[in-house]
Structure 1
Amino acid sequence: MTHQTDMTTEKKACCGGQRPGQRNGQTEADYLGAALAVPEASQEIRQELRARLRDIPGGFFEMGARKSTFASDFDSPRRKVHVSPFAIAPHAVTNAEYARFVADSGYRTVAEREGWSYVFHLLLDRPEDWPVSPPGLRWWRRVDGAFWSSPEGPGSDITERQDHPVAHIAWFDALAYCTWAGLRLPFEAEWERAARGGLERMKFPWGNALEPGGRFAMNTWQGRFPDENTAADGYIGTAPVGSYEPNGFGLYNMTGNVWEWVQDWFGPRVPSKSVPRDPKGPESGTSKVQRGGSFLCHVSYCDRYHVHSRTSNDPDSSTSNSGFRVACGGNS
């Protein structure tokens, strides 16, 4: 079997790592309960957080792609949907914002409870010190002591990354923040409506060119994945949330940087004879949808940095490239 065939097979797994079952006696019900039991922030904080959101007009738009790059992603065919007006954060939740939440609520993330998280190997000084995990994705290392404020494990911190998106966030951790903030995760259709910035049938928030005008417009991989990142765009890992130009709705980094959790369970599209209004995905499932791609996406492997791209992961999985942004309003 050739190397290229191996890479094609691996593509189906995207670039994220899935947690191998429950750990330390914790179950998904335990994580859900902890997320929903988070104390509410003060009304002043909640009002402040709501005031930062950008209003997105409701209406019809075409969601998805004409043809999927990876059929198992279920991001095609293109279809018309309708969403109600809603509001969404201009950028992903930052380290500073998540630290404020943790200080106010005392919440401990899934990675903290389980004692480890997945770290991309090139972010580590000595990747050989940590086991490859999960099997088949040699660029991930299971690092004991890695979590949102110690993103590369013991001895690392976020002192110089306060304005970067918080990472190592499981879906349950995003839900906990939303519980505290009086907000919610966007639904997938809302996320894509927002990401497109008012444009139709375009690949990116700004149009169809990967590098418009010869300049970088998002934080993705340059070089040979997964062993050489030239960082031509300026970043090996995450970038500050205000990097690059915003889209037509004033939203930053809707593609690249970190995968963003949304509310929906992952599953195939359900055919509809009429235009779906405020679609919400399957009623149940085993994995949650993530949107937008990350700093690890590259055409040679995880070509999922488009406004229609989607992947999924277990709601208790956390990685170096998993974050979220918040929303409210709409037909929630």
Structure 2
Amino acid sequence: MRAPATARPAYRDLATVSDPTELARQLGAIFQLTDDGTPIVTDGETLSHAFRAAARLRPDEYAELTAAWLRAGRQRLAATCLANLVRLPGGPFLMGTSSGTTPVYCGEEPEHEVTLDAFAIGRVQVTNSVFRLFRPEHAPGAEPDLPVADVTWYDAQMFCRWAGVRLPTEAEWEFASRGGQPDPYGDVGMENLGAYAWCSENSQGDLHPVGTRKANAYGLHDLFGNVWEWCADSYAADFYRRSPARNPRNAEDTAERVCRGGSLHAFTDMCRCAFRHHEPVDYWAYDIGFRIAADLGSDERPESTHHTEES
């Protein structure tokens, strides 16, 4: 059984602040940094709503309020994040599950062809040590090389925004997990899952340091097991029936986001490439974390991601 997430403090509601001067004052307090460039406010939901509120200001005011905050993250995390990224070629692949082939959960059907642009994705899940560059007080006492957990989708999204990267779309995540193979378990294969994943059969109920299981054909570790991974997409059970064929991402503002990959408690069937899990956007638990992704520039190198207020 998964432990339920406990309540977190309510985010600061700025939607009702109509005076631009007062709004700028409150936003200035939210986007403050310590002397070493660490954010003072790290609650993801507060930051997400702050960026949305800041978009109501003039462009020059928006830039003045957010530029130092964004620059600090790129300076502190650029080397760490870029070193962790693996370039993938993209291209067409079959996403989802065909009816009747396996049990189908959480809107895995219909199987459909998707084409992705080339992108980059994290070699491993984001660790406690890396996340603590953003939130130093996170999980005190937890081993630094364990995957970060107990983070909401907002937390993951705002870490990525600060670092100049992004969350993978669920199409990118599934492409990465397949390792170029159409098998339900990608190039890993169901019979070899334990060699590639910390899941119910071998985790003994504990998280394990990232990168200690075998990598798939793309050189990526822990795509199955250890922690569920937040994706950029909102969850809708019928999305595959109406999603675009190229670079799909469900950007609807719904209450839940997609998680992929299974966790330390996941049964084998939950570690399939096409298995879709979902949780409320403000949910956090000890078996949910994330990995980063990035767009590729014209030189085929990862580049800083431009975020909109819906991403």
Normalising by the residue count of structure 2, what TM-score does the alignment of the two structures yield? Answer: 0.71
3-state secondary structure, aligned to 1:195: helix
Unaligned runs of 5+ in 2: 14-43, 53-65, 298-304, 306-311
Contact in 2 for aligned 1:261/1:291 (Cα 8 Å): yes
Matched ranges for 1:199-218 at <5 A: 199-200=181-182, 202-211=183-192, 216-218=195-197
1:205 and 1:91 mapped to 2: Cα distance? 17
Residues 25 and 50 of structure 1: is their aligned pair in 2 closer, same or farther, counting only changes over 3 Å?
A: closer
Give the corresponding residue for 1:4. Answer: none
Partner of 1:220: 199
Give the aligned residue type for 1:321.
Answer: D
Distance 1:96 1:48, change over 3 A: closer
> For 2:85, which of 30, 50, 53 is the aligned residue?
53
1:183 to 162, 165, 181: 165
Which of 66, 90, 108 in structure 1 is aligned with 2:123?
Answer: 90
Does residue 174 of structure 1 match 2:208? Answer: no
Please say if 1:163 is aligned against 2:145: yes
Partner of 1:241: 210
CA distance in 1, matches of 2:51, 2:198: 30
Q: Which amino acid aligns with 2:288?
A: S
Which consecutive unaligned segments of at least 5 residues does structure 1 have? 1-13, 109-147, 151-156, 223-232
Percent identity for Structure 1 against Structure 2? 29
Question: 3-state DSSP class of the match of 2:162?
Answer: helix
Q: Distance in 2 between matches of 1:251 and 1:216?
A: 13
Is the contact made by 1:35 and 1:175 (CA closer than 8 Å) also made in structure 2?
A: no
Superposed counterparts of 1:15-164, under 5 Å = 17=4, 24=10, 30=46, 32-33=48-49, 39=70, 40-43=72-75, 45-67=77-99, 69-71=103-105, 73-103=106-136, 148-150=138-140, 157-158=141-142, 161-164=143-146
* Aligned positions, number: 249
User: Structure 1 residue 44: deviation in Å?
Assistant: 6.3
Given residue 78 of structure 2, which amino acid in structure 1 is its aligned partner?
A: R
Q: CA deviation at 1:164?
A: 0.9
Say whether the 8 Å CA contact 1:183–1:328 is kept in structure 2: yes
Relative to structure 1, the CA distance from residue 25 to residue 52 in structure 2 (aligned partners, 3 Å threshold; closer, same or farther) is closer
| Segments ≥4 residues shifted beyond 6 Å | none
TM-score by length of 1: 0.67
Whichever residue aligns with residue 285 of structure 1, its letter is T
**Aligned partners of 1:99, 1:29: CA distance in 2, in Å?**
17
Kept in 2: contact 1:19–1:316 (CA 8 A): no
Query: How far apart, CA to CA, are the structure 2 residues paired with 1:48 and 1:29?
Result: 24
SS in 1 for 2:73: coil
Greater mean alpha carbon deviation, residues 263-272 or residues 91-100: 263-272
Q: What's the Cα RMSD here? A: 2.9
Q: Which of these residues, 254, 257, 271, is aligned with residue 288 of structure 1?
A: 257
- The C-alpha deviation readout for 1:238-259, integer Å capped at 9, x for no partner, is 1111121100110001011100
Q: Distance in 2 between matches of 1:307 and 1:270?
A: 15
Aligned counterpart, 1:6: none
Rounded Cα–Cα distance in structure 1 between residues aligned with 2:107 and 2:5: 19
Give the deviation of 1:198 after TM superposition.
1.2
Other structure's SS at 1:41 match: helix
Determine the C-alpha separation between the residues in 1 that align with 2:92 and 2:287.
Answer: 31
Q: Deviations over 1:113-166 (max 9, x none)?
A: xxxxxxxxxxxxxxxxxxxxxxxxxxxxxxxxxxx414xxxxxx21xx211101
User: CA offset at residue 32 of structure 1?
Assistant: 1.8
Matched position secondary structure for 1:261? strand
CA-CA distance at 1:189 after TM superposition:
0.5
Query: Any conservation in 2 of the 1:55–1:86 contact (CA below 8 Å)?
Result: yes
Structure with greater helix percent? 2
